[in-house]
Amino acid sequence: MKLKTTLIALFSCMILCAQSFKEVQLPTPDQLSPFFIGPLIKSTIHYGATPANYNGKVIVFNHGYIDLNQGQFLIDNSFYQETYNEGYQAVFVATTRGEGIWVNGELLAESIDIITEKFNVPQVYLVGHSNGGKASEAAMFQYGKKDKVTRAFALGTPFWGTYLADISQMPWLNWAWRLTGLNEGARTSTTYYCRNVVRPYLDNHPDNEPEKFVVLGASGFYNGSTIAAPAFLITGGILLPVQGTNDGVSPYSSTLRPGAEYVFSKNDSRAIFDHLDVGLGQFSWSYIKPYLENRSQKSAVVDKFDNSKIESNYYIIHSENEYDQIHLDKNSDFAIAEIIHENPSAGFQISDKNYKKLNTSEIYNREAHKTVITFSENIINLKSDSRFAAFVKQNNGITMSLEQLTNNDHPTLKVDINSNKKDFQLLTNTQVRGVIIKTSKIDGTPLQNDPEVITFDKKGDSFYFETKNLEEGVYSLFLNSESKDNFKRSIISGFVVGDIKRSLNESKDENLIKTSQKSIKIIPNSVKNEASIDLFGYALPNQLSINIYDITGKAINNFSIKTTNQSTQYNISAQVQSLSRGMYLLKINDFKTIKFIKE
C-alpha cells in the first residue's frame, strides 16, 4: 500500500510538472512559416528539428522581458537556421511574458531538466536575450542547474538593472510603462532590485560559477535594423545622459556580469546595434560559435564600471504639477529639457514667469514620444496637451551622486553634491530630501504602500539617511537636492532593507501579506476647493499636526487641527484652496503619508 501511494504521488508530480510547459515540435528552418508567432500566453518549449549532421550539442534559447519567443520567429532571426546548418540541436523556451527573475528562472530550470532528459545529454548551452540572461543565472545558481549548463550566453542582459525600469516604479510616472514595455514584473527583473538584491545574492552564491557566462553588450541604440528601432532611439536617448552608452534598454555597464567573459568593449565598432539586434543570430551568432567549438577565447575587456554610485546633472519636472517650473541654475547660461511624453506628437506651450508666450523656435529635436528644448530665460512655464516628464540639465557643472554604504541589513544612503567648476558658494544651504515607497518584499512579492517623506542629515561635506527604522523590503526613491536660487537636482532609484539571503530562501508561509486596519483618506482625492480628512482606526490625540509636501518632498504648508471625541473627519478646505494644481503628499502626525491631487 505504501509503495502504491508513493507511486501515485510521483506520477501526480510528473503530471503537474509537465503541465508547466506546452511542448511543440518545429519543422526544419526552411519549412517554418514566416507568420509563425509561437505562444502568446502559455509557457512553451519549441523543439527545433534535429539536423542530419547533429553533433550532440543542444542550445537552449530564452527570450527577453516582453517576448515569448516571438523574437526568434517573427523578426527574420537567423539563430534557428545557423544552428541547424552547423549541426546543433536548437530548443526555444518561452517562460513568461513580463514576470520577474525568480519566476522565469524556476521555469527555465524545469525546462533544462525536460530537455536534457529528452535528448539524453548531460549539459546544454544557454543563450538568453535580455532578461533571458538573468533567468539563466537564476536557473543555474538559485534553482540548482549549474551542472547541467556548459556555457551561458547573455545578449544585452541588464544584470544591474536599467534606469528605464526605475522610472516605471514611481506611481506618478506609471504611464511611462507603455513607452518602455515594462509592467509589474519589472520590479524584480530590471530595476535597482538587480543592483541591490540580485547581484549581492547571486554573485556571492556558493554555487556561482561566473566563468560560465559569456556577455555580449551592445552600444548602438541609434542603429537598429528592425521595426523596433525608432522606439530604442527614444529610450536610448533617455538613458544616455543618465547611464551612458546603451543599446536602447540596457546600459553597457549594466550588461557586465562580474567575473564573466566580455566579448565587446564599450562602443565596440562590432557592436553598434540596438537591444533587439543583439538578440538576432545575424548579429551575434559569429561571436557565440567559437565558444561552442571549444576554441580558446580570452577577452581583453575588463570591468571598470562602478554600478554602486548614481550621478545626476538634472532635475525632473512633471506635467501634472503646476508648481513645477524650469529655473536656470545660478551661473547657468542655458538649460536643456529632454522631455518624454505620453502622446507621441505632443505639443508644448512655453511662457515666461509672467505667462507671456515665448518663441518655440528653440525646439531642436522632436521625435515620437520625445522632445528636446533649450532655454536661456529664467523661470519658464511648460504646458502640454500630453502628460510628460522633463529631465532638465544645466551647464554650471553641479552634480548630485547617490551611493549605498552597506551596514548589515540596513544600508546608509549617502549623497554628495559636487561642482566641477569649484564654485562651492552655490552649494551653501543645500537641503537633501526624498520620497520613498515600499514596493515589494525582498522576494519580489508586490506590496501597496503609501509614500513617505525622508530628509538627509548633513555630516561633513556629505548627506546621510539611515534606514535602520524602516521595515524590511524593497523601496523606490525619488531623491531631490536644492539650494534655493542656486540649483536643483533629482535622482530616481531605490534600495533594499533586510536580510536578502534569508528572505529569498524562507518558505512562502512566512511571506504572508498583512493588511492594516487603519486608514487615512482625503475626501475627495481630487481636491478643488473643498476637502476633508477622514481617519479610521487611530487613537487620536488632542491635536493633529498636518504637513503638506510637493511630490519632491519639499514642505509647502503645515497646520494643526483640534480633535473631538465625536468626529473622525475634519475639514481642511481653507488650507488647500491656495495650492497650485498638481500632486501633493499629506502627512498627519506620525501616522502615515497619503497622496492627493489638487485640481
Q: Would you say 440 and 102 are in contact if contact means Cβ atoms under 8 Å apart?
A: no
Residue 208 in this model has a pLDDT that exceeds 80: yes
Burial class of residue 120 in the structure, from the number of CB atoms within 10 Å of its CB (0-12 exposed, 13-18 middle, 19+ buried): exposed
User: Does 353 lie in the same domain as 437?
Assistant: no
Does 582 fall in a domain? Answer: yes
494 pairs with which residues across the strands?
476
User: Residue 340: pLDDT above 60?
Assistant: yes
In a domain, 511, yes or no: no
What pTM does this model have? 0.85
- Residue 514, pLDDT above cutoff 70: no
H or E segment and range at residue 473: strand 473-483
pLDDT at 350 over 70: yes
In this structure, are residues 403 and 463 in contact, taking their beta carbons and an 8 Å threshold? no
- Return d(Cα 437, Cα 471) in angstroms, integer: 11
Q: In what order do the strands lie in the sheet with 89-94?
A: 22-25, 44-47, 89-94, 58-62, 124-129, 149-155, 213-216, 261-262
Residue 509 lies in a domain: no
- 259-294 burial code (b ≥16 CB/10 A, e <16): ebbbbbbbebeebbbbbbbbbbbebbbebbeebbee
368 shares its domain with 248: no
- pLDDT bin (cut points 50, 70, 90) of residue 10 is very low
Looking at per-residue pLDDT, the higher value among 567 and 48 belongs to: 48
**Percent of all residues in the chain with a pLDDT value above 90, rounded to a whole number:** 54
Give Cα 164 to chain centroid, integer Å: 5
Q: Is residue 218 part of a domain?
A: yes
Q: Could you tell me which residues come within 8 angstroms of residue 298 by beta carbon, excluding any fewer than 6 positions away?
A: 261
Answer yes or no: do 500 and 540 share one domain: no
At 185 the pLDDT is 56
For residues 260 and 320, state if they share a domain. Answer: no
Please write the tens of the pLDDT for every residue from 419-442: 887 767 778 889 999 999 998 888
pLDDT of residue 127: 98
CB of 43 within 8 A of CB of 23? no
pLDDT of residue 169: 75
What cell does 478 get? 525619488
pLDDT at 143 over 70: yes
Least confident segment among 67-76, 181-190, 251-260, 431-440 = 181-190
Helix (H/G/I), strand (E/B), else coil: 426: helix
Both 94 and 190 in one domain: the answer is yes
Q: What is the pLDDT of residue 1?
A: 44
Out of 296, 324, 346, pick the residue that ends a domain.
296
pLDDT at position 510 is 47
Cα dihedral sign, 184-188-193-194: negative
Say yes or no: 172 and 254 in one domain.
yes
If one counts the domains in the chain, the total is: 4
554 burial (CB, 10 Å; 0-12 / 13-18 / 19+) is middle
In a domain, 3, yes or no: no
Domain's final residue, options 446, 479, 504: 504
Q: Can you give the CATH number for the domain in which 197 is found?
A: 3.40.50.1820
Let me know if residue 512 belongs to a domain.
no
Judge residue 593's burial from the number of C-beta atoms within 10 Å of its C-beta, 0-12 exposed, 13-18 middle, 19 or more buried. Answer: buried
Q: Is the peptide bond before 524 cis (omega within 30 degrees of 0)?
A: yes
Q: Calculate the alpha carbon distances from 32 to 25, 45, 288 in Å.
A: 11, 16, 23
Higher pLDDT, 226 or 91: 91
Containing structural domain, residue 525: 519-598
Considering the domain architecture, whether residues 455 and 537 belong to the same structural domain is answered as no
Residues 380 and 408 in one domain: no
Indicate if the pLDDT at residue 49 is higher than 80: yes
Q: Give the C-alpha separation, 77 to 72, whole Å.
A: 6
Tens of pLDDT along 462-497? 999 999 999 999 999 999 999 988 899 999 999 999
- The answer to whether position 309 is within a domain reads no
Tell me how far the alpha carbon of residue 198 is from its chain's centroid: 13
CA gyration radius, the chain? 26
Cβ atoms of 256 and 272 closer than 8 Å: no
Report the CATH number that the domain containing residue 432 is assigned in CATH.
Answer: 2.60.40
Mean pLDDT computed over 348-356:
85
Same domain assignment for residues 528 and 555: yes
Closest residue by Cα to residue 489 from 528, 434, 545? 434
Cα 63 to the center of its chain, rounded Å: 18
Query: So what's the pLDDT on residue 280?
Result: 94
Tell me whether the omega of the peptide bond preceding residue 171 falls within 30 degrees of 0, making it cis: no
Out of 450, 473, 504, pick the residue that ends a domain. Answer: 504
Domain containing residue 532: CATH number:
2.60.40.3080
- pLDDT reading at 270 higher than 90: yes
139 and 120 in one domain? yes
Tell me what the mean pLDDT of segment 32-53 comes to. 85
243-252, 387-396, 422-431: least confidently modelled range = 422-431
Is 83 in the same domain as 106? yes
Average pLDDT estimate for 438-460: 90
For residue 124, what is the enclosing H or E element?
A: strand 124-129
User: Does a structural domain hold residue 164?
Assistant: yes
Residues 541 and 497 placed together within one structural domain of the fold: no
Q: Which residues pair with 462 in a beta bridge?
A: 416, 459
